[in-house]
Chain A
Amino acid sequence: MTAVVLEGLTKRFGNTLAVDNLTLNIADGEFFTLLGPSGCGKTTTLRLVAGFETPTAGVIRFGRRVVNDLPPQRRNVGMVFQNYAVFPTMTVFENVAYGLEIRGVRGKELRRRVLSALELVGLAGLEDRRPDQLSGGQLQRVALARALVIEPEILLLDEPLSNLDVQLRVSIRKEIRRIQQALKITTVYVTHDQEEALALSDRVAVLNAGRLEQVAPPFGLYRFPATRFVARFIGRTTVLTGEVVSARPGEWVSIRLNGGLLLRAAWHRPTEPGQRVWVSVRPEALSPADLPRAENVVSGEVSYLEFLGPVVRGELKADGLTEPLLFELGRPARDWPDWAGRRLCLRVDPELIAYGPE
């Protein structure tokens, strides 16, 4: 059981800065996710932790030990790769046994531990199969068993689900979470899929162009994004720009948006009148309103509408806004609400608005 500390971690490839001065504290037993678009440095960070890359600057610590110069084979981390990397020339049993043999485990003990690892990932009975007789999902389970069986201090997962189809992704995702909870193993998970990150993690770090944007638990990330990038990247939202008109700390903030509309948001982060801010309005923050002139009510023409079963989703070209507002309304009426092209009044819930300095 080990905490992982990154201090000022930097990795440069030629002229590109893949990881830029990254500092993170990952707690013992935590499920920690590195999330970001491709090329944001998340995989490089993971490979630095695993020891496949050496940092240009900064320190990596496992617990109190600095591991910067420790080769990967001596770090005792379990790694699961995007392409599974299951040894194609060995059976499932031999794959899982490989790391144990290196650690001097032999005979009955070896067999017991390999079988129990396979049991854990739901592959009991398949130990004599060869990799080319397994499906993608099964291969990924072999890779997971192989990484876990050596009882690593840290489990590293590099986009382990991205080569699987959607249904399998969801079921293996549950498995990974279940196993992680059962073993209480410190886990660093890399993904570009925000849903995966939100579903699995204790905390998520959002990276962009090698830099850290925000670290927070999934709810905090969604509800209180720290930057415009995070607001846009996590979930669906409309991000607007405006200026703080007045604020009462702890209660509310009044913001004049570009285009003239005045919006009141619940206070959640310090700001003062005159500050330029971005404002994120989640689609579910909008609900039908009766009075067009009331506070936080926007009216405009529905420019786009789609029916998605439980909800209708659309865009409102609202008066006093420069950008169309995304909305999502649940429990549609008995009939398909044919609002396309019609005028609509929607109220914005101040509790569901996030803002932050530009």
Chain B
Amino acid sequence: MPTLRAAPAEAGFKAGLKPRIRLDPFIFIYAAAGAYVAAFLVLPVGRILAETTLALAEAETPLEPGFGEYIARITWNSVFVAGSTALLSVGLGIPLAFFTVKVATPGRGLFRVLLALPLITPPFISAFATILLLGRTGVITQLLGRVGLPEVYIYGPAGLILTHVLHFTPLAYLTVAAGLQVVPAAVEEAAASLGSGTARTLTRVVLPYIRPRVLMAAVLVFLASFGDVGAPLLLAGNFRVLPLETYTAFNSFQVDRRVSLVLASWSIILAFLVLLIVKRLMARTQVSHTFTTRTFVHRDRPLRWLGLGFCLTVTGVLFLPYVVTVISSFGTVWTTGLLPAAFTLRNYQFILTNFHGIKNSLILSAVATPLCVGLAFGLGKLFREYGARAGWLDYLVLLPFVIPGVVIGIGLVKSYPGFQPLGFPLLLPIAYSVRRLPYAVRVVTAGYSRVDRTLEEASLGLGASPWRTFWRVTWPQLMPTLAATSVMAFIRIITELGSTLIILPPGWRTATVAIFYYAAEGFIGRASAISVVLIGLVALGSALANLDYGRLLGRPRARP
């Protein structure tokens, strides 16, 4: 009988499979990605810090007296708004997550979809809607007036916090919900079998289990609120916050030119501090669990109905801004009634004939998206191969997430003044690609981690080069990730405002800036109509992102 004999180990080498020391062809890709990050993220940020130091050192006149107090005041204002927003959003997000994940609330699947929607729109649309609702002539202000209640003064911290809570609660919700989904059923069942009721299990076992997630939610909301310039532009009034002051100081010719530099540097330092604190907190509260199983779902009737009531109310309130934006986009003037004076399609006709805002946004996003996605894939591969040794780069790539867009814009403009190859404002797409890099890298890293290492090792073991292994084994499995990342990057890019306001070259007004100008100039209907078109675009994008690309590409779906 013929037997399969194991070949001696040397046979493979004799047959020409001797491993040679070869240059990893990906080195060039890593180098390109690294250079891009260095040129368009590290250099601009470094330049702001360096210029600030120089300007302060060489200055013959000191900064205005009281400048320190001024910085302390606007920093406190920013921290106050961001902190309150974070507290309130997480406070709303936890019960929302509990009722849609842990309780069999009727329609909880629908609530989960609805609650993710506000995330895709830019916050200044929410700010704009807040004016429509609660401004001098807002719908709610009028209703309050009819029952004899005073109006809420929204131009200041109250309006800002309200807008940000309405806008960022979904972010807190999704982060907490994702945590609740991985609490293993066994942990809650163990508590139940020990005699623990719903409330006790929730407070003593479940919430401590997801503490890092809750903390993460608070940090995400804090940073998003802290770095936002759109809502303050429309709503801050005399209440000064850091990104807005940086922007106005940069654009104004009357203010000492050092002010914008100092404010930008200060934002960068604060960002580093926040990042540092977050890393510490996360490390301390990290819960290690190595298994995921089913989750435990409560089915008691009273709890389900309570959940329905709560979810309906909160979702309703969160959607009010979008409802008024849509109504207003079809209205003429809307000042004294509960509805606009008359309905019309003129606003949409106007945008169609003055299409350049949306067209510019589409062109710039179309250039920025491949830059951002390509960069994310290169960096993702680098992190996968070099893991811990590339940790500092990982940290660096997180920076655009914590540094306000306005500051990144200032750094780029200062580093590359007048950079317009072939008359195209390439600096804008570059700014976008850097700004949205943290999101893209996160999605790509998740995608890479789903590719089984042993498949690549099997390919290498069969004698394939790293290059061939990547294209034949890894890349085909990354197709869904490519699609998801592209769409996600696109919708994040098209709604960017902070760096756009700074860089904005003449003739390249984007849709976001157009909304902003129309709103400021009182063309509420037009601003609403562009907002609706923009929301429509990003909603379309998200719908595309949720398609099953494996199926579309004709691959059989993986069965669990």
Contact = CB atoms under 8 A, between A and B. Distances in A.
A150 interface: yes
Given A87-B190, A89-B211, A146-B190, A132 B288 contact: yes
A77 interface: yes
A103 B288 contact: no
B291 interface: yes
Interface stretch (B200-208, B450-458, B520-528): B200-208
Interface string B196-240: 110010001100110100000000000000000000000000000
A50 B193 contact: yes
A81 B192 contact: no
Nearest to A71: B192
Given A73-B197, A83-B186, A89 B192 contact: no
Nearest to B186: A85
Contacts of B287: 88-89
A98 B204 contact: yes
B42 to A, nearest CB: 36
In this complex, the member of A75, A85, A102, A156 whose beta carbon has the largest number of chain B beta carbons within 10 angstroms is A85
A99 B194 contact: yes
Interface string B288-299: 110101000000
A98 B193 contact: no
Nearest to B204: A98
Contacts of B293: 83
A125 B25 CA distance: 55
Contacts of B547: none
Contacts of B204: 98
Nearest to A143: B190
Interface residues of A, number: 31
A76 interface: yes
B194 A85 contact: no
B195 A81 contact: no
A98 B191 contact: yes
Interface in A51-94: 51-52, 71-79, 81-83, 85-90
A102 B200 contact: yes
B contacts with A: majority SS: helix
Contacts of A86: 190
Contacts, number: 77
Interface string A25-63: 000000000000000000000000011100000000000
B184 A150 contact: no
Contacts of A99: 194-196
Contact of A103 (B191, B195, B211): B195
A170 to B, nearest CB: 23
Interface residues of B, number: 23
A145 to B, nearest CB: 12
Contact of A87 (B193, B205, B288): B205
A87 B288 CA distance: 11
B189 interface: yes
A93 B209 CA distance: 17
Nearest to B201: A73
Nearest to B198: A73
B193 A72 contact: yes
A83 B193 contact: no
A75 to B, nearest CB: 7
A156 B193 CA distance: 10
Contacts of B205: 87, 89
B187 interface: yes
Contact of B208 (A78, A85, A89, A143): A89
Contact of A83 (B184, B192, B195, B209): B184
A201 B33 CA distance: 62
Contacts of A83: 184, 186, 291, 293
A104 to B, nearest CB: 10
Contacts of B192: 51-52, 71-73
A90 B205 CA distance: 9
A87 B189 contact: no
Given A85-B184, A89-B287, A77 B209 contact: no
B190 A50 contact: no
A79 B189 contact: yes
Contacts of B191: 87, 98
Contact of A81 (B189, B196, B209, B289): B189
Contacts of B208: 87, 89-90
Given A102-B194, A150-B194, A52 B189 contact: yes
Contacts of A150: 194-195
Contacts of B288: 88, 132
B186 A73 contact: no
Given A98-B204, A132-B288, A85 B196 contact: no
Nearest to B286: A132
Contacts of A87: 187, 190-191, 205, 208-209
Given A88-B209, A89-B211, A81 B194 contact: no
A89 B186 contact: no
A102 B291 contact: no
Interface of B: 184, 186-187, 189-197, 200, 204-205, 208-209, 211, 287-289, 291, 293
23 contacts: A50-B189, A51-B192, A71-B192, A72-B189, A73-B194, A75-B193, A81-B189, A83-B186, A83-B291, A85-B184, A87-B205, A87-B208, A88-B288, A89-B208, A98-B194, A98-B204, A99-B195, A102-B195, A102-B196, A132-B288, A146-B194, A147-B193, A150-B195
